[in-house]
Amino acid sequence: MRFKIDNKEVDLVRGVVYTLDAQQRKRHEIRAKTLQVLTVLVENADRVVTKQELLEMIWRDLVVQDQVLVQSIKEIRDMLGANTIKTFPKKGYRWVAEIERIQKPVQLKALIPTRILAMAFLALILIIGLAHYILDKSSSQQLPRVAFLPVENNMPDKLHDWVPVKGMDHLTYGLAQQTELPVSDTDDVLLAIEHLQQRDLQNTMSIAQLVFKLQQKLGAQLIVQTRLTGYPEDLQLHYTLHSQHGPQQGVILSHSVDDALNQLVSALAEKFGQREITDGSHYQGAFSNQAFAKGVNAFLKRDYEAAIVLFQSALVEQPNMLAARRYLAGSLANTYKLPEAINLLQGSLLLEDNSVSQKEHLRANLLIGYLLIHWPQGDNRQQELDLAEQYIAKAKGLAQSSQDKLFIAYSYEELGKIKRLQGQYSEATRWLLAALEYHQSFHGRYGQTAALIELAKIAIAQEEISEAKLYFTKAMQVANESNASPNQIWVLLAQADMYRDLGQKARAHTMAQQALDIAHLADSPQLIARVQAWFAHVPIHTVN
């Protein structure tokens, strides 16, 4: 649905507001939950929508405070005007502004001749199509029509707000260019989704129902659903292929959005480009990849026990799948099975060392070092830190040999932590400042926050509280610039730790409460659990 209000145009499908100035057309992205609130209010403008109704419809799987709804209402009023929504105290909200729906114009004068031409053209196409069918039965009619859904953007920043529609268009154009597969246009898919959403006023349609109706509406045999997660330079593109044989899942690991999208296009071109969909091809590889993808989903939802089973299933088919071994180790560590996790990672280092496995070896070394730093196991802490330093140094060497700047920065950060824990503050500072230089060169610069927090901890250890506060302020500025909610939370919790150690419990609680509010606004169960762990005095280190 699209509509005009004052000098603005709102597109509820793409989730954007355009300001229609005489000089330029400005675009403003609408936050996902705020978009859902706006859609419900506009489509139910004839009545008051209760707060409880909105919370249950939009945040139905989460326990949240009313403040998340208040924030969305504020964002709508800031974008579209203070008088667009009327508040009914202790009851709810109602959309009261006049809007002008935007419809595609119909040219009546050209309607009749256009129909005649269309019929003649259709007859011609049928004749040509029949001849083509007789001459070559095995051509394009065997190829499945493909439709891409908008990419679900789960990146923790505002730098990737462009991903849903542009990413969808990238996939659509790429697959159409690389193969003879018929691919539904981006606009056609968005229009079909809009029509289906207009009929689903209560927002109750499941993804399976949406896929089925889109397959009917678009005549598509393959619907591709995607979700982007991770951090800049370290991304995961999860995908589900919906066909008549049921959903197939997979995940792509990459350093950039474009590369991840291109990898998916290539995988689809190879899988479907020259044959019709069959449910028996590549059984083992498909099973393993599905098990791995489902494991990663379970891992991200903190269901580590389920993730362990899925990663083990993936490794039955592909024992040397290093990414699955790494995620399995992370799941074991998060369930306090540290020796098993380290043994698994050490085994990964013994597997074939080639260009494909080099980055996984880098990650395995880094993860072993990280586990030794954050999960003390033995009585000899100094020996543990020395061993951690050896693994981190190996990771650093691999990162430098491949010029992987992100993992060079990560290695420097972990070396800085080790030196801080050993009381070698000057050397720790040197490593952390070097890490900052690398992070400042990235497009998403909020990775700086980890190094800045560590520098603040060094200042605290030296009783330089004013200097620590300066580092925290800088870290929060960097996190705010990208609207990176996880990083905002880490900064606030680090400050809460400082104030709690200083005996300023009220101020520590205030900082932690701010972190909890941000976690609720981000609708992230993982972030909420992290902050709640602080209140419960439980260590919050987990493997991401």
- At residue 125, does pLDDT exceed 80? no
Number of Cβ within 10 Å of residue 204's Cβ equals: 9
| CA atoms in the 13 A half-sphere facing the CB of 277 | 18
Q: Over range 334-353, report the average pLDDT.
A: 89
Note the pLDDT of residue 539.
Answer: 67
Q: What is the tens place of the pLDDT at every residue in 481-499? A: 878 888 999 999 999 999 9
Residue 94 backbone phi and psi in degrees, to 5: -140, 135
The alpha-helical segments, DSSP class H, found in 86-206 are 111-135, 168-178, 186-199
pLDDT of residue 395: 94
Q: Any idea which of 70-74, 269-273, 422-426 has the lowest mean pLDDT?
A: 269-273
Q: Would you call 410 helix, strand, or coil by DSSP?
A: helix
CB 13 within 8 A of CB 190: yes
3 state DSSP class of 141? helix
Quickly state the pLDDT bin for 62 (edges 50, 70, 90).
low
**Hey, how many other C-beta atoms are within 10 angstroms of the C-beta on 537?**
7
pLDDT over threshold 80, residue 504: yes
Residue 119 has pLDDT above 60, yes or no: no
Our CA dihedral for 477, 483, 485, 489, rounded to 10 degrees, sits at: 10
> What is d(CA 276, CA 95) in angstroms, rounded to the nearest whole number?
48
Residue 93, SS3 per DSSP: strand
Q: What is the per-residue pLDDT across 381-395, written as a single tens digit (0 to 9) for each?
A: 999 999 999 999 999
Highest mean pLDDT among 202-216, 256-270, 453-467: 453-467
Q: What's the distance, Cα to Cα, between the start and end of the chain in Å?
A: 38
Among 370, 356, 367, which residue's Cα sits nearest to residue 321?
Answer: 356
pLDDT recorded at residue 286 = 45
Side chain identity, residue 543: V
The letter for the amino acid at 91 is K
Q: What gap in Å lies between CA 441 and CA 155, rounded to an integer?
A: 19
85-94, 355-364, 454-463: range with highest mean pLDDT: 454-463
Could you tell me the sign of the dihedral formed by the alpha carbons of 506, 474, 31, 184, in that order? Answer: negative
> In 204-256, where does DSSP find H-type helix?
207-218
Smallest CA-to-CA distance from 329 within 360, 353, 352 is with 360
* pLDDT (mean) for 473-486: 88
What type of residue is 92? Answer: G
What average pLDDT does the segment 90-95 reach? 88
- φ/ψ bin of 266: left (φ > 0), alpha (ψ from -120 to 50), beta (otherwise): alpha
CA distances from 372 to 86, 256, 302, 380, 529 (A): 55, 29, 21, 12, 23
Q: How far is the CA of 222 from the CAs of 118, 181, 195, in angstroms?
A: 28, 11, 20
Q: Pairing state of beta strands 222-231 and 146-148?
A: parallel
Report the SS3 class of residue 46. coil
pLDDT of residue 139: 42
Helix (H) or strand (E) holding 462: none
What is the rounded average pLDDT of the residues 31-37? 84
Q: What is the mean pLDDT of residues 342-356?
A: 81
Q: Give the HSE-up count for residue 410: Cα atoms under 13 Å, Cβ half-sphere.
A: 24
Highest mean pLDDT among 44-58, 199-213, 464-478: 464-478
pLDDT tens for each residue of 65-80: 677 788 889 889 888 9
pLDDT in tens, 277-307: 444 443 344 445 678 888 887 887 778 899 9
DSSP state, residue 445: G
H helices present in 136-185, as ranges: 168-178
Cα(544)–Cα(542) distance, integer angstroms: 6
Nearest one of 317, 157, 334, 141 to 221, comparing CA atoms: 141
Q: How far apart are CA 195 and CA 87, in angstroms?
A: 29
pLDDT given for residue 63 in this prediction = 53
Distance of alpha carbon 13 from alpha carbon 190, whole angstroms: 7
Q: Summarize the confidence of residues 375-380 as an average pLDDT.
A: 82
Going by pLDDT thresholds of 50, 70 and 90, the confidence category of residue 6 is: confident
> Is pLDDT at 439 greater than 60 in this prediction?
yes
Mean per-residue pLDDT, 503-517: 94
**Predicted confidence (pLDDT) at residue 308 exceeds the cutoff of 50:** yes
- Write the secondary structure of 492-533 as one string of H (helix), E (strand) and C (coil): HHHHHHHHHHCCCHHHHHHHHHHHHHHHHHCCCHHHHHHHHH
